[in-house]
């Protein structure tokens, strides 16, 4: 690859980053928010098993979003489904 081609690619990337900077920042903020939500949910589960509605009320996140995060944590083996409490299962952290 010639020096001219390298410079053209660098400029193209620079232009692309500039035109997409707003979207890049939005995605960074979404990732930051999700990381915070995961941390808050994990903190709630440190004191023992809780249902999705209990977690949602404690961390002020919609139950649908809490369920998605809990499902992800289960997929990675960080949370397990515990005993049923009425209509809901209690979710617990896996001991590390």
Please write the tens of the pLDDT for every residue from 54-63. Answer: 999 999 999 9
When divided into structural domains, the chain yields a total of 1
**Whole domain around residue 65: which residue ranges?**
3-93
What is this structure's pTM? Answer: 0.78
At 5-26, the pLDDT tens digits run 988 999 999 998 889 989 999 9
Where do runs of H (alpha helix) occur along the chain? 3-19, 21-45, 52-59, 63-75
Per-residue confidence (pLDDT) for residue 96, from 0 to 100: 77
Give the Cα separation of 65 and 67 in Å (integer): 5
What CATH number does residue 44 fall under?
1.10.10.10
């Amino acid at each position: 690859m010639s020096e001219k081609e390298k410079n053209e690619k660098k400029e193209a990337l620079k232009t692309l980053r500039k035109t997409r900077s707003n979207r890049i920042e939005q995605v960074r903020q979404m990732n930051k928010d999700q990381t915070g939500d995961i941390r808050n949910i994990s903190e709630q589960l440190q004191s023992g098993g809780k249902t999705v509605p209990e977690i949602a009320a404690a961390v002020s996140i919609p139950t649908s979003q809490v369920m998605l995060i809990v499902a992800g944590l289960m997929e990675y083996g960080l949370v397990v489904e515990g005993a049923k409490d009425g209509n809901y299962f209690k979710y617990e952290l896996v001991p590390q």
